[in-house]
Amino acid sequence: MGHTVGEQSIQFDSSVYLLGAGSVVGKKEGDGPLGKYFDKIGQEDGLFGCSSWEEAESTLQKEALSIAMEKAGISREELRLIYAGDLLAQTIASSFGIMGFHRPVYGLYGACSTMGEALSLASMAVAGGYGECVGVVTSSHFCSAEKEFRYPLGYGSQRPLSATWTVTGSGACILGTRKSHARITGITTGKIVDYGLKDSFNMGACMAPAAASTIEANLRDFSRKPEDYDRIITGDLGEIGQKILFDLLEEKGIRIEERHMDCGIEIFDKETQDTHAGGSGCGCSAATFASYILPKVEKGEWRRILFIPTGALLSKVSYNEGKSVPGIAQAVVVEHC
């Protein structure tokens, strides 16, 4: 079971354990600073043996979830529910990625915050007694995302320095009731926050206010201070978003600099990889969580962390119709046990 805490949070009384995780990424991500942590790294062409970028992205999900199941030691039949999402229109990477598992499915869309949303809903399911084993998986692919949100790659458009680089990758986790060394003890559901920014090449700035809102709500709802977390880890704010996050939180008297980490900043080497402000995409936080963050909690290197994937809510159509880019951030508290 769980119970509500404050305005936006839920605390889980019965435990929700993380039983296994899988990550699959592209070559560029494999060449980055986190390269050695990923379970599987693709070839230069980014196609993962497929004939389209979309199929390749589906394959990432398929493989990440399969690895997570294998590590959790569970069979396909034991998977009660799957929560899945991606960035593409009508989340087709997920539909075609998880179809072959033949398991009950809920499709999600939370832009790059989807891994936070999926972990939240899966925790609610496990704690609620709705399944002993529940899977979550999200993905993004640089090539399918550029086509979806900006320009076809062949167009060769220039990217401003504020732009982030969509991660080619997928991360999956199995949550369940069986004891392990990491558990989800609470969540904070995000509100949509709109500061009126309209620049889809500066998504860090669009998402930072949502990250600030959810972090503030989490600390308030659970009566915690930043020091109560070993790390506060956002999804893909990148360098510009990170600065704005610090500023916004400081206005509220909250200082997180010492313990803040951003998956988008960690996943690429800015100096050598030409990725500008950092990585993004719902594969960014998902693959980083599955490969790098979760193992540190499992080992007890970090006792308690706050993981907050962040999403920019835009589409080609909303952008071209001159709408702003609101943000959302979904937070999950993960503790060593």
Instruction: Count the Cβ atoms, other than its own, within 10 Å of residue 16.
Output: 26
Instruction: Count the Cβ atoms, other than its own, within 10 Å of residue 55.
Output: 19
Residues at the contact surface with a second copy, assessed by CB under 8 A: 1-4, 7-8, 10, 52, 54-55, 80-81, 85, 87-92, 95-96, 98-99, 102-111, 117, 120-121, 124-125, 127-131, 147-148, 189-192, 194, 313-318, 321, 323, 326, 328, 330
CA 254/CA 264 separation, integer angstroms: 22
Answer for the pair 56, 141: CB distance below 8 angstroms, yes or no. Answer: yes
Residue 266 C-beta: closest distance to a second copy, Å: 25
Cβ-based nearer residue to a second copy, 94 or 291:
94
Residue 87 C-beta: closest distance to a second copy, Å: 7
Indicate left, alpha or beta for 332 from its phi (over 0: left) and psi (-120 to 50: alpha): beta
Residue 291 C-beta: closest distance to a second copy, Å: 25
Structure tokens at 157: 């458009």
Cβ-based nearer residue to a second copy, 273 or 324:
324
Cβ-based nearer residue to a second copy, 4 or 75:
4
Distances (CA, A) of 51 to 48, 87, 294: 9, 19, 33
Residue 167 C-beta: closest distance to a second copy, Å: 17
Cβ-based nearer residue to a second copy, 41 or 92:
92
CA 80/CA 196 separation, integer angstroms: 40
Residue 18 CB contacts under 8 Å (≥ 6 apart), including other chains: 173, 174, 175, 180, 182, 183, 184, 294, 298, 334
Residue 300 C-beta: closest distance to a second copy, Å: 29
Cβ-based nearer residue to a second copy, 193 or 233:
193
